[in-house]
Structure 1
Amino acid sequence: MHVLVIGDVGVIDGMMHIGDEAMFEAAVDELRARGVEAVGVSSVPEESAERYGIRCVPRLGFGGLDRAASEARAAQLIAAARGAHPLPEDDVALPALEALRGASGLLNAGGGNLASRWHVHVFERSTLAAMAGALGVPVVVSGQTFGPDLIEADAALVAGMVRSAALASVREPDSLALARSWRDDVRMLVDDASFLTDARTDGGVLVSLSGWFDHRPAEVVEAAIARVVDHAADVVGGPVRFLAHFGPLDDPAPTRGDAALHERLRERMTAPSEVVPTGSSVEAAALARGAALLVTSRYHPAVFAAPAGVPVLAIEVDEYTRIKLTGALGHWGAHPPLPVDELDATGTARVETLHGDRTAIAAAATAREPAHRADTATWWDEVAAVFGAAR
């Protein structure tokens, strides 16, 4: 028997999204450690199969569909799972349906994409859960962020998935409050990828940023960030390293994803810096865990760094990033994120505060680590028990 695991994985056009891959990898590792075989759902099944050493099947065919077409597609797939209307032999979702029919469970792996801005993920995950329900396959929802933007129709789909799950967990307080309005036994844990590795790659200032500024003038924000990173190099010491969490694996030209932003910042800076090529999730986690200071507007660099007691200057640009970064840092007693609009006025002072508090930050993380590790282990023990007890 196997468990079907869906995350937002698969390297498309050579572009790697480290955070999405990290949550999937952590889930596969945790299941494997408990003797549970995983079969993945991926945008690029062959690539993911090779990366994780498991069998993978394609996604369900919601990509590029509008809401009306997505509703029709969901109804078609659920009907097929119920045996009412078989899928055509060339339907892209047929391998996932067959894998689900032979599964002892479905794991909706960690992610922050269940929001109406990405309705494809709302439909894909809720439909797969409904298909599992039609087949009598138990569902677990792990390590999620819900919203903050969820229109009524999408909220109903996500709520139905959560209510039908054998177990459900989220990773920050805002999602917990929403999920507890659907069922009262949803748990809050640290992100699923928090303990992906214990390794550390020694380094000075690590910078991992997204180019999403919520429609603010890019040149203004970039100039402020460059000044803060220059100051960090003076206060903390070098080297200054840039790592794109959404970046190209097979293209040395830094013109895509986070790498393009990083190059613009490096051109503005006076301090010397270097680029670490986008690689594996484990390599990225080790680099974040070994930094003396992390500057990031992305979520998973903070997830990796905070458990190791690394001071984190997290930059929030909208409600979504505020919710996630506040959650990631709050678990470890770390300093809250800084709103991007305050970066120019208080960013350099925050760098000095973080550096001055580095011993206390490390101590707070060390004090919290045993409980978080124990809770995480218990969670995966219970997940494996749900799947092991099925059928």
Structure 2
Amino acid sequence: MIKEFSVRVVVIGDVSKSGNYHLGDEAMTEVAITQLKQRGADVTLVSGDPQLSAEHYATATVPRLGLRGVPRPKKLRLMKALENGLRGEGEVPESMRSAVDAVSSADAVVIAGGGNLNSSGEHHLFDRLALSRIAAFHEVPLYVSSQSVGPHLSTQDREIVKEIADRAVVFGVRERTSAQLMRTLVARPEAVVLTYDDAVLIPQTDSTVPEVDVSLPSRFVIGSFTVHPGATLMRPQEYYRTIATALDHIVASCDVDIVLAPHTGALGARDRQDQDCQGHAHISNLMTSSRVHELPVLSAAQVARVTSAAEFTVSTRYHPLVFGPAVGVPAIGLVTSHYSMIRMRGALEHFGMSTFAVPFEGWNGVFGQKLVDELMDDRAQLSAHLKEAGQAAGRHQVQWWDGIVASIHGTGDVMTEDVPITTQPYRWGTAQDQEALAVFTGVHDALNRTRQNLTLEVKERRRDHKAMAQTVLQLSRKGEQLEDRCDRLQRELEKSKKDASSAQRSLQRQIEEIRKKQRLPGAAMRDQARLRIRSWRDKRA
């Protein structure tokens, strides 16, 4: 591990949104901060709640850049204003000044996880694009770690991701599909590196995030479930009931308790109406077994420690599939969307456990009981394998951060080798079971991918139609203003014509009067005499 002279690093993750603690995102950012600090860096964190993040991570903080929760046209205007402000051709938007000041005096910028770069979360794209442009203007090197890219990226958003990646010294992604996508986009494919999720290091992190006293049963399975049903097309109550049934079967077949660990909400909160806690309350109420325990929102480090004592984990959340293998505990992912399939299979693939990502609709009555039975039969073997694999993952990510800090110092290079993919994954059940799982998964993912694409296409079209309607309204208003102006100008022109005609007549009268005044005395008599003489001559002729 490198610890040299201090460097100043600005880090952006996805933390403390309105006081909310999103466990997985916070875990990745906490790891980035810790790894940098351990190597002598002074860290400034870009945060949704600077005061709260400063308390959690004992580091300097600045607010986000003001790009969240605003329409895309306004984001584009803010980006343009930022560019003009950096060039001295205007003012930097007030919401961005703290970040600009921090980057201007930094030695590096790190884009850490939360790492979802896709068209569903365009605020992430614009936050990171803005920071990358600020870094480029001040010639500060950019490093990217622990990202998932896509699977849905509009043409416009692909250009944003490409711009960010092309500026990066190295761009770390956490699943093979993201690596494949990024290498088709960027100018330097070799700068894209497949790594583990940085949260594999959270069990090794000396966390400063507050913990909560909890009591745990002697034997338990830990579960974490989203409050929403994803792309399953289920109503929330049906979704909760399906999970409750699955957990009741696990209790009965494994003689374990269920511990529900929420991943979003206010840290330490036990409020059953708050995000994951609300969903867990519904699940608990629908279970027939009383052997279920609802935890409050715990820190990432504490959840990892609770996970280490579990028989296994089962979740519709992604990060349990990172925490479990990191501490040697089998992890099952219930896939509710194409997006969750990409991430869950990607995380488990690193540990040879990709067959533990099971379509949500195929759990009860199809694959669930077979998988759980075989997992419990092979648990000792699986845990030994995962313990070794988890330690290897931790060593790999430590080396990853060694390379980043060495590059910042100018004393070494970033890591460029991908994590090797296990070619022989663990297979549970019979060959027929695995074939059925492969077919079910393929059809399930194809349907979810279609649903996702259609949903996002509709969302984009609605956004485009709304933007077009606003443009038409603005043009209509401008047209009305132009018509009013034309009418006003026409009236002014008519008045000017009348005024000009009146002025011309007045001027003509003045000229005639002046001419009269300029004639010599007797001039009128001479004119009359000349006319008479001319008339007489004409008659003579």
After TM superposition, the score normalised by the length of structure 1 is: 0.94
Post-superposition offset of 1:196:
0.9
2:264 is matched with 246
SS of residue paired to 2:70: coil
Which residue, out of 6, 15, 22, partners 2:20?
15
Amino acid at match of 2:315: T
- Tell me how far apart the structure 1 counterparts of residues 115 and 247 of structure 2 sit (CA, whole Å): 27
Unaligned runs of 5+ in 1: none
Check whether the contact 1:9–1:43 (CA below 8 A) recurs between aligned residues: yes
Stretch of structure 1 that moved more, 94-103 or 65-74:
65-74
Count how many residue pairs are aligned between Structure 1 and Structure 2.
386
Residue number in structure 2 paired with 1:316: 335
1:246/1:257 contact within 8 Å kept:
yes
Q: 2: distance between equivalents of 1:191 and 1:251?
A: 26
Q: 1:82 to 1:359 in 2, by over 3 A?
A: farther
State the SS of the aligned residue for 2:98. helix
What code does the residue aligned with 1:160 have?
Answer: E
C-alpha contact (below 8 Å) 2:201/2:397 kept by paired residues: no
362-371 vs 181-190, greater mean Cα deviation: 362-371
Contact 1:58–1:95 (CA under 8 A) maintained in structure 2: yes
- Give the structure with the higher percent helix: 2
1:260: which partner in 2? 278
Equivalence for 2:119: 116
Per chain length, whose mean CA-contact separation is higher, i.e. which structure has more relative contact order (CA < 8 Å, sep 6+)? 1
The residue number in structure 2 matching 1:85 is 90
Q: Is the 8 A contact 2:326 2:391 kept in 1?
A: no
Matches within 5 A, 1:217-228: 217-228=235-246
2:199 to 185, 190, 193: 193
- Distance in 2, matches of 1:48 and 1:339, equals 36
Are residue 35 (structure 1) and residue 27 (structure 2) matched?
Answer: no
Which residue among 191, 210, 223 is the counterpart of 1:207?
223
Instruction: Determine the C-alpha separation between the residues in 2 that align with 1:278 and 1:134.
Output: 40
Q: State the alpha-carbon separation in 2 of the partners of residues 95 and 152 from structure 1.
A: 31
**Identity rate, percent:** 31
CA distance in 2, matches of 1:165, 1:79: 22
Whole-Å separation in 2 of the counterparts to 1:241 and 1:345: 23
Q: 1:330·1:336 contact (CA, 8 Å) conserved in 2?
A: no
Larger of the two Rg values belongs to structure: 2
The C-alpha deviation readout for 1:251-295, integer Å capped at 9, x for no partner, is 433112111111111111122211111121111111122211211
Which residue of 2 is the match for residue 172 of structure 1? 175
Structure 1 residues 266 and 138: CA distance shift in structure 2, 3 A = same
Could you tell me which of 384, 389, 393 is aligned with 1:363? 384
CA deviation after TM superposition for structure 1 residue 11, in Å: 5.0
Structure 1 window deviating more from structure 2 (189-198 vs 250-259): it is 250-259
Residues 306 and 312, structure 1, Cα contact 8 Å, conserved in 2: yes
2:61 matched to 1:70?
A: no
Equivalent residue number for residue 378 of structure 1: 399
SS at match of 1:324: helix
Give the Cα–Cα distance (whole angstroms) in 2 for the partners of residues 248 and 10 of structure 1: 9
Assess, with a 3 A threshold, how the Cα gap between structure 1 residues 43 and 31 changes in structure 2: closer, same or farther.
same
Distance 2:117 2:179 in 1: 14
Q: Kindly indicate which of the two structures has a greater share of residues assigned to strand.
A: 1
Alpha-carbon distance in structure 2 between the residues aligned to 1:132 and 1:387: 14
Q: Distance in 1 between matches of 2:104 and 2:89?
A: 15
Q: Give secondary structure in 1 for the equivalent of 2:334.
A: strand
Please say which of residues 186-195 and 307-316 is displaced more in the overlay: 307-316
Greater shift in the superposed pair: 154-163 or 237-246: 237-246
Match of 2:228, as an amino acid? W
1:149 to 144, 152, 168: 152
Q: Residues 351 and 386 of structure 2 are in contact (CA less than 8 Å); yes or no, is this contact kept in structure 1? A: yes
